[in-house]
Amino acid sequence: MAFSVSIPGQLGLIDEPYSGVAGLLAAPLVSAITVAQITGERYQSLLNGTSFTNLTGLVTAKGPSGLWLRSTTPDDNERTSESVYVFGAAFAHNITRGQIITIDGNVTEYRSSTAYLYLTEVTTPRNVRIVSSGNAVEPVVLSKRTSGLIGRRDVSPPTELYSSLDTNNDIFAYPNNVSRVSAENPRLNPGRFGMDFWESLSGELVTIQGVTALGRPANTFGDQWVYGDWKVTGENSRGGLSVVDKDSNPETLIVGTPLDGTRNVNTTKLGDTLETIVGVVQYDFGFYSILPLTGTKIKDAKQPELPPPSNIKPNGKCDGITVGSYNAENFAAGNTRVPRIVEHIVAYMNSPSIVFLQEIQDNNGETNNGNVDANATLLELTTALSARSLVPWDFVDVDPVNNQDGGAPGGNIRNAYIYRSDQLRLYKPNPGGPLDANAVLPGPSLRYNPGRITMPQVFNSSRKPLVAEWETVDGKGHFFTVNVHFTSKGGSSSLAGDPRPPVNGGIDGRIAQGEVTGAFIAEILKQDKNAAIIAAGDFNEFSGVEPLKRFVEVSGLRDLDVVANIKDVERYSYTFGGSQQELDHAYVSPKPARSVRNKDFEHVHVNTWVSGGNEVSDHDPALAKLNVCRN
Ligand SMILES: *[C@@H]1O[C@H](CO)[C@@H](O)[C@H](O)[C@H]1NC(C)=O
Ligand SMILES: *[C@@H]1O[C@H](CO)[C@@H](O)[C@H](O)[C@H]1NC(C)=O
Ligand SMILES: *[C@@H]1O[C@H](CO)[C@@H](O)[C@H](O)[C@H]1NC(C)=O
Ligand SMILES: *[C@@H]1O[C@H](CO)[C@@H](O)[C@H](O)[C@H]1NC(C)=O
Ligand SMILES: *[C@@H]1O[C@H](CO)[C@@H](O)[C@H](O)[C@H]1NC(C)=O
Ligand SMILES: *[C@@H]1O[C@H](CO)[C@@H](O)[C@H](O)[C@H]1NC(C)=O
Ligand SMILES: *[C@@H]1O[C@H](CO)[C@@H](O)[C@H](O)[C@H]1NC(C)=O
Ligand SMILES: *[C@@H]1O[C@H](CO)[C@@H](O)[C@H](O)[C@H]1NC(C)=O
């Protein structure tokens, strides 16, 4: 990538932009090779493994293990980066920012994991010659308002697509992992693909203004996903960026460890703004990053921290029950989060008629002693709920076989229902055991109520969907529930990683689980097309990706986000990798879907919005209002 650069000071070139003509600096800087020749038009340098002499550049930044060198003879090719990382702590030790130096060295491609991209760098720098010192160092301003780059109107990243290698421009295309950047080494198209854009800036010192935080810090080092004052798509009302169809937000990048040894602020939350960041763009641990010269600071903290309580309330009749769903994140008896989860359910979700819970652990949590019973966990929760809400709560679940359903060893997470016994009861209860495969009997009714959908291979090391049949206490309403927690995305590769499309961990498992669960639901609808069925929970997948496409096709259910006309950017329940995303969904059968009105479904953002320590779970709960009257 080309840019205009002015180097005041000893060369006497104050405010004279370079035009890309090497001859400008002819006398002192005989240049055998340029930075752009090293970085090239592709991800990996065609000069990898070779040595060079007489590379000249301006030192724009120094880090603990090397420095960054910017070309003094930039080209006007937007594919080539004009800066490069020079690895070598001892070499960098005596060199200062603002010096123009000439070096010899080798071109190397480096990565610490085969899941990552290679970084093109200069290694074994030698024969350093100081050309001049004290030159001004101007960062390239990345902004929709600047025009500092030759041949480019603005300096803003593409907002939707990641890589030309993603099948049909779909980063979640199935099958995934069908090609690798390192093998194809595509020519960069920085105007169209986000990864190509950042790669074309690799090693460049940049300024990011109008910085918005995309969530809490990604780790304890204070690494932080952000975007700057450039064009974005998928922006939600909180200021974050949601994953929507064919748009996974390549315009974001992560702020890494500050180069001066200070720390980034670690109290950020979604939508906070940060002070202007100056730093180096560099691919680091699987992501395009900006390594700031010094630690970040919050400019404006978003207020209020919590969303308003939902407007969705049960009306106590069969035409207005409310259904919540909440992944409570490894929740066990004695958990200090009990009062806060109760507050979410009572004050923010208005004491729903029923809540589908996921990740309920057994009574002794992650103590791996063979116990699988969760009655103390659920009793503690419902007792606290009853005390706080002044309405009676009850619970039901089916214990798993010890350590067979995945999650933290010994925790025995399972799906469970908590419900208001003043509004609902199980219809003809007949609980199944962990190995009793539920089935649809003539009626339609259930072989076990409640009972789990089990199938050895499909749900191996994963939660079994918990199916139940309910009626309202006045007998006028009747419905089926399917509480799911599909297999996780563990093992996924970074969206900006080497495999293309990225590895979507567990996808084959989720496809099979979606098909089996969908077929169970279809069996109920085959017998009674007017049956009221609600399937909800943590599907660990996004709408429109293969597992959920198949689930919807096979089950015949409808997506409540669509039925209730929820704006696509507000469909999120989780933050990961710089985006808000929807892992948690709710689906209903056609009859109740017909009476759902706009906004009768809501993702209640009590967890995605708040700062570190104030979240009760890593997922937001969701809430829907439904008509389950028999007639
Ligand atoms: C490199 O620079 C030196 C002077 O510093 C010069 O003698 C030499 O010819 C140059 N080499 C090339 C390949 O340009
Ligand atoms: C770079 O070159 C070295 C030395 O020739 C070679 O071992 C390595 O495989 C190359 N790396 C890539 C990514 O081509
Ligand atoms: C630098 O590259 C040259 C040419 O490939 C090679 O002979 C030499 O061993 C390399 N030096 C180092 C230190 O890697
Ligand atoms: C740095 O400079 C000092 C003083 O000029 C010198 O003694 C030392 O060897 C230099 N270190 C390196 C790594 O070049
Ligand atoms: C991705 O594909 C490569 C073969 O190209 C294979 O070696 C690797 O195991 C695959 N990774 C995953 C996680 O499936
Ligand atoms: C946050 O930063 C402060 C100050 O640098 C530090 O004391 C604290 O341990 C950090 N907290 C976390 C969770 O990293
Ligand atoms: C849990 O159930 C067991 C029997 O399965 C019973 O002995 C125990 O008292 C129950 N615990 C609570 C807290 O209800
Ligand atoms: C189930 O998964 C475990 C590991 O989690 C594995 O050892 C076992 O072979 C799997 N069983 C089946 C039937 O796939």
Ligand in nearest proximity to the CA of 508: 5
Closest-lying ligand 1 atom to the alpha carbon of residue 32: 14
Tens digits of residue pLDDT in 317-345: 999 999 999 999 999 999 999 999 999 99
Determine the distance separating the centroid of ligand 5 and the alpha carbon of 514, expressed in angstroms. Answer: 23
Q: Residue whose CA is closest, atom 5 of ligand 3?
A: 50
**pLDDT for the residue 154:** 57
* Tokens read off for 555: 């089950």
Give the closest residue (by CA) to ligand 8 atom 14.
Answer: 457
Q: Convert the pLDDT of each residue in 247-258 to its tens digit.
A: 999 999 999 999
The ligand minimizing its distance to the Cα of 176 is 5
What is the distance in A from the centroid of ligand 3 to the CA of 54?
A: 15
Q: Domain 318-626: which topology?
A: Deoxyribonuclease I; Chain A (3.60.10)
Is the domain spanning 21-132 CATH 2.40.50.140? The answer is: yes
Atom of ligand 2 minimally distant from the CA of 44: 13
* Boundaries of every domain in the chain: 21-132, 318-626
| Minimal-distance CA residue to ligand 6 atom 14 | 220
Polymer length of the chain: 631
Residue whose CA is at the smallest distance from ligand 6 atom 6: 266
pLDDT tens-digit map of 422-476: 999 999 999 999 999 999 999 999 999 999 999 989 999 999 999 999 999 999 9
Percent over 90 (pLDDT), the chain: 91
What's the pLDDT tens digit per position in 123-163?
999 999 999 999 999 999 898 766 555 445 557 899 999 99
Q: How far apart are the first and last CA of the chain?
A: 66
Token representation of residue 159: 């907002």
Per-residue exposure over 182-203, b if at least 16 CB sit within 10 Å of its own CB, e if not: beebbebbbeebbbbbbbbbbb
Q: Which ligand is nearest to the CA of 364?
A: 7
**Ligand 5, CB cutoff 6 Å, lining residues:** 177, 491, 499, 503
Confidence band, pLDDT 50/70/90 cuts, at residue 376: very high
* Nearest ligand 3 atom, CA 124: 13
Q: Is 109 in the pocket of ligand 2 (CB under 6 A)?
A: yes
Per the CB < 8 A criterion, the answer to whether 131 and 100 are in contact is: yes
Angle CA(340)–CA(345)–CA(347) in degrees, nearest 5?
Answer: 85
Q: Which amino acid is at 177?
A: N
Please name which of 114, 110, 140, 180 lies closest in space to residue 290, comparing C-alpha atoms.
140
Averaged pLDDT for residues 44-65? 97
Beta bridge partners of 498: none
Give Rg (Cα) of the chain. 28
Q: What pLDDT, on the 0 to 100 scale, is given for residue 221? A: 87
In this structure, the residues whose C-beta lies within 6 A of any atom of ligand 4 are 90, 93-94
Residue with tokens 């320590």: 613
The per-type count for the chain, helices as H runs and strands as E runs, is 10, 33
Q: What is the mean pLDDT of residues 263-289?
A: 97
Of the candidates 376, 588, 356, 604, the residue with the CA atom closest to the CA atom of residue 485? 356
Residue showing tokens 């139940």? 468
Q: Is residue 169 classed as helix, strand or coil in its secondary structure?
A: helix
Distance in Å, CA 105 to ligand 3 centroid: 8
Distance CA 255, CA 288 (A): 9
* Nearest Cα residue to atom 8 of ligand 3: 51
> Ligand 5 mean position to 177 CA, how many Å?
6
| 21-132 and 318-626 have identical folds | no
